[in-house]
Structure 1
Amino acid sequence: MSPKDYLLALVVVVAWGVNFVVIKVGLHGVPPMLLGALRFALAAVPAVFFVKRPRVPLRWLFAYALTISFGQFAFLFSAMYVGMPAGLASLVLQAQAFFTLAFAWLFLREPLRPRTILGLVVAAAGLALIGAQGGHSMTLAGFVMTLCAAASWALGNIVTKKIGRVDLVGLVVWASLIPPLPFLALSYALEGPQRIATALAGIGLTSIGAILYLAFIATLIGYSLWSRLLSRYSAGQVAPFSLLVPVVGLASALLLLGEQLSAIQYGGAALVMLGLIINVSGAWFAQRVSRLRS
């Protein structure tokens, strides 16, 4: 990977890691369902007029939009609204990697390798430690909803596998047209028209900045750069960078929001990261060991 592309990968990691702090800030002025509607409306318009629609059947476009976009962020925004810390959210959301493997085994009959099972067990132990600390710096409801967000993301990954090779930027932009409607419907039902009107009438520069960041930097720029890297290099070269997202998420939450974790939560976070490393880098490590022996 060239130095320029290493830099681009780090830009994506920082953009996605800080994303969780930005969500927390955005939720201070805008309720979660309305925030989701605004995020995806801006991600779709005006980009949809300049990005070609991907050659994807409508049913798969809707399936992608309702899982990886609407489902994931409806749960994530709600989780953070009811007390899930930004740093822990960035970490627990990475459980999507293991949900994806489980769903791929269940729906696509893809085999589960020993390293995958080992990584899953280690990460599950870490999540159990974090969940057991429900009364320390987070709510149990927030933790459970973050896991639901991870499961929704994983279902979206399965949909992406079924779609096959496609322009990821076009898929993200055109799929962003769909979530605003269910987000607005939930906002009307759960948050109420009065709260929507109050939030929009009193929206401040901080909330506007958060929405712009979520729509343009985290969504459009992040996915554009990530898809560029995936088009140039193998998934094995690019995927390990995603391990840095929760590192940036935890660090930025500590520095910008002053979030503190208990010793047990730090231990759980370390186990989750170890499980992810085993899953992502296990094949590379096994190949290196095999070469050394031969």
Structure 2
Amino acid sequence: MDFRAILMGLAFALMWSSAFTSARMIVLDAPPLTALAIRFLISGVIGIAIARALGQSWALTPAQWRATALFGVSQNAMYLGLNFMAMQTIEAGLAAIIASSMPLMVAAASWVFLRERLRPLAMAGLLAGFAGVSLIMGMRLGAGVDLYGLTLCVIGVLALTVATLSVRTASATGGNLLMVVGLQMLIGAAALAVPAVLFESWEVTWTPRLIAAFTYTTLIPGLAATWVWFLLVARIGAIRAATFHFLNPFFGVVIAAILLNEALGIYDVIGVLVIMAGILAVQIARRPQRTG
């Protein structure tokens, strides 16, 4: 893995993790699904406009269209939509920790349902990772965390896990990286628009925090992070790129603690460190073994 790939992976992890804090800021002042649908619409239009300016085409292959549609609905609409709703009642740090367990869930589901053989290091990583999640969730449940919000986060990460297993190849294979990102955003916006119109009212408290958070989450986690992720996958492969997910629990809780003054107890720190070790172990173990 070269130095540029490392910088790209660190940038992705930082941008992705910061999305939970900016989302928490948004949902405190605006309806979550409506705000997210508008965010995806703006991000998608910008992404497609830049892609067209770069000469990229929206004439995707059938495999690309399937993957784009699946991830647009499962990741952007279901996963992020449920997380935005959840963060009306739970802290951004907890949402980031639950979302960060996705690589563990993918590995576990691959083992259970796809009969993928896991090395001993991967099994140890799974046990450690889920133990860390259980420790944090147990402490939060004891402290009276909102079960509705917690359940929405869990359902969201399960939806993203299913989508990840359904599409084994990156949706950006064959080029048109930024175009694929933009189209995914528009699909997510369309999927979220229906429940937003049916179930939410336009009640917005316009504050500098809301405007700044919305602008940031639209351009950085929404557009830039997704683009960087696809570039990273194209550069070093999906399995190696996924290794950087082990940084997400740490970045997520630290950013939330700094910007939102969320409490960070000793058990949270221990749990995050255990989760990070578990994710890293799983991703290292799943790398193809060198031969010769």
- The question of a shared fold, defined as TM-score above 0.5 by the shorter chain, is answered with yes
Match of 1:117 among 112, 123, 126: 123
For 1:1-294, what aligned pairs fall within 5 Å after superposition? 1-51=1-51, 52-53=57-58, 54-56=60-62, 58-83=65-90, 85-105=91-111, 108-133=114-139, 134-136=141-143, 138-161=145-168, 165-167=173-175, 168-191=177-200, 195-196=201-202, 198-199=203-204, 202-235=205-238, 237-282=240-285
Asked if the contact 1:130–1:268 (Cα under 8 Å) also holds between the matched residues in 2, the reply is yes
Could you tell me whether the CA contact under 8 Å between 2:76 and 2:185 is conserved in 1? yes
CA distance in 1, matches of 2:2, 2:118: 33
Q: Secondary structure at the match of 2:17?
A: helix
Stretches of structure 1 that go unaligned for 5 or more consecutive residues are none
* Separation of aligned partners in 2, 1:277 and 1:10: 14
Task: State how far apart, in whole Å, the 2-side matches of 1:236 and 1:16 are.
Answer: 17
Q: Is the 8 A contact 2:170 2:233 kept in 1?
A: no
Q: Find the aligned partners of 1:234 and 1:248 in 2 and give their Cα distance.
A: 23
RMSD: 2.9
- Give, in angstroms, the shift of residue 229 of structure 1: 2.5
Structure 2: gaps (5+ residues): 52-56
Distance 1:105 1:81, change over 3 A: same
Distance in 1, Cα, partners of 2:255 & 2:80? 20
TM-score by length of 2: 0.83
- SS of structure 1 residue aligned to 2:186: coil
Deviation at 1:223, TM superposition (A): 1.9
Residue 37 of structure 1: how far off its partner (Å): 0.7
Counterpart residue type for residue 94 of structure 2: L
Runs of 4+ residues over 6 Å off in structure 1: none
Q: How far did residue 107 of structure 1 move?
A: 5.7
Q: Is the 8 A contact 2:48 2:178 kept in 1?
A: no
Letter in 2 for 1:278: A
SS at match of 1:261: coil
Offset of 1:3 from its aligned partner?
Answer: 4.0
Cα distance in 2 between the residues matched to 1:38 and 1:264: 37
TM-score calculated relative to the size of structure 1? 0.83
8 Å CA contact 1:137–1:260 kept in 2: the answer is no
Following the alignment from structure 1 to structure 2, what is the Cα–Cα distance between the partners of residues 162 and 281? 19
User: Does structure 2 retain, via aligned residues, the 8 Å contact 1:56–1:163?
Assistant: no
Cα deviation code 1:137-183 (max 9, x no counterpart): 73233222222221122122123316663444332211211222332
In structure 2, the CA distance between the partners of 1:181 and 1:91, relative to structure 1 (3 Å rule), is: same
- Answer whether contact 1:43 1:176 (CA < 8 A) is retained: yes
What percentage of aligned pairs have identical amino acids?
23
CA 1:120/1:89 → structure 2, altered by over 3 Å: closer, same or farther? same
Q: 1:219 to 1:172 in 2, by over 3 A?
A: same
CA distance in 2, matches of 1:242, 1:128: 18
- Once the two structures are TM-superposed, the CA of residue 109 in structure 1 deviates from its matched residue by 4.5
Sort the Cα spacing of 1:233 and 1:182 in 2 relative to 1 into closer, same or farther, 3 A. closer
2:216 partner amino acid = Y
